[in-house]
Structure 1
Amino acid sequence: MPDTTTSADVPALRIEGLYKTYPGGIEAVRGIDLVVPGGEMLAIMGKSGSGKSTLLSLVGTLDKPDKGRIWLHGQDTATIRDLAKFRREEIGFVFQLHYLLPHLTLLDNVALPLLGKADALRLAATALEQVGLSHRMKHPPAKVSGGERQRAAIARAIVNRPRVLLADEPTGNVDSDSEASLLDLFQSLRDEMGMTLIVVTHERGVADRADRIVHYKDGQIESIETRESA
């Protein structure tokens, strides 16, 4: 029979039998199986040291598993020759710290992943507009609030229009008002751009904004909770 599978049938992420152990016998990832449909916001929730950030690094191809396979939009990451190019085009990263360069404006910071592109500044300006920072483009990081710095980091992560956004404790260094604003932004990226978001957190309030919550403990998935009101 002919293959009738379409791109709509291919999940954004599929993980099978994933393991990662660090020196000293630390089992950060133990036999993970997971499927994430395109356009979903998934939260991975667990205590510090549970291995959830390691799992995110494996998904983002920043680290390699000891065993198991990862597919991103149908591509087996173990077979990709130029991982740096793949990450640049397909994956955006947001971390707890913004990692903006202090001597550059927000516009220039966001344009960094686009070095060599003739329209880099235009695309960076568009990304800053998407996150509500069109009025701060010419400001250096020190002249804006913590929440605005994190928004700029999100703009930098989406400037290449990746299909998957990975966020590791993205609200860990902002106040409650900024947290709510950032989570609204994540949901708009999902709803308006069709982006798939995977957010690592230890905060229930953050996880509650996701479509599903993976409860993660000692390198394993304890349970997966579906959020009906997400």
Structure 2
Amino acid sequence: MQNIIYVMRHIDIGGNVDIPYKKVGVTGAGNATLSSRLQQISNTKSPIKAQCIAAWEHSDARAVETALHMLLDDSRIEGEWFVDRDDSLVERMHPIMNLIGAREVPIEQSNDPYTKSVMQKEVESKQKTDHILLGEILDFLSKPLRSSSRIAGPTFFSDEKQLTYYVNARKSGKHHLSIGRSKDVYEDIKEFLENHGFDVEQGKKGGAKVLSISTVTVASIIDLIEHEFVPVNT
């Protein structure tokens, strides 16, 4: 019975090629079957190996797969493979899978030294990119803020407004800005930013989020809040 929906990618164990494709497929129950499916695809003497990066269990996995394929059709490359240049497919799938009650399946990390090396290189590359982005945003800010390059991305701290700005960097250059410690003033910030032409969403922790914006826009929103935002109840 095929009751596992998985997302797979290919990685170059030599670290020379960035492959922006993801496969959305189904397989049988349990980690063992999931692992054997990966072995079937990776079992060649090739520097390109398969890696499962997410999986969910659902009683009607085939129907879920069909729906996801239809949803992703504009980015289909061939068969079950889709382009994911922003590396955001799994993130976008999470709320869908939560909505339909799919159970997330833990992914066993590979102990293969080459794969582990590639993963470490990716972490180091992201840290370097995030650090560069942090510097770029600081250069655009008219008001200096304390900052830190954290695992989650560039972070800025406002002592005056008692807010924290988290930047989720995207390969496409369209980043997500989350405003931490803004749960209690969410409605005020939402109205303030929407009056300035920005679309605002509420994050899982209740704070405000602005999605898919450029580096310059990230800085302009932070500046706007720092210079002009005053909560209604203040």
TM interval, short-chain normalised: under 0.3
Task: Please identify the structure whose Cα radius of gyration is greater.
Answer: 2
Per the normalisation by structure 1, the TM-score is: 0.27
**TM-score normalised by length of structure 2:** 0.27
Larger RCO of the pair (alpha carbons < 8 Å, separation 6+): 1
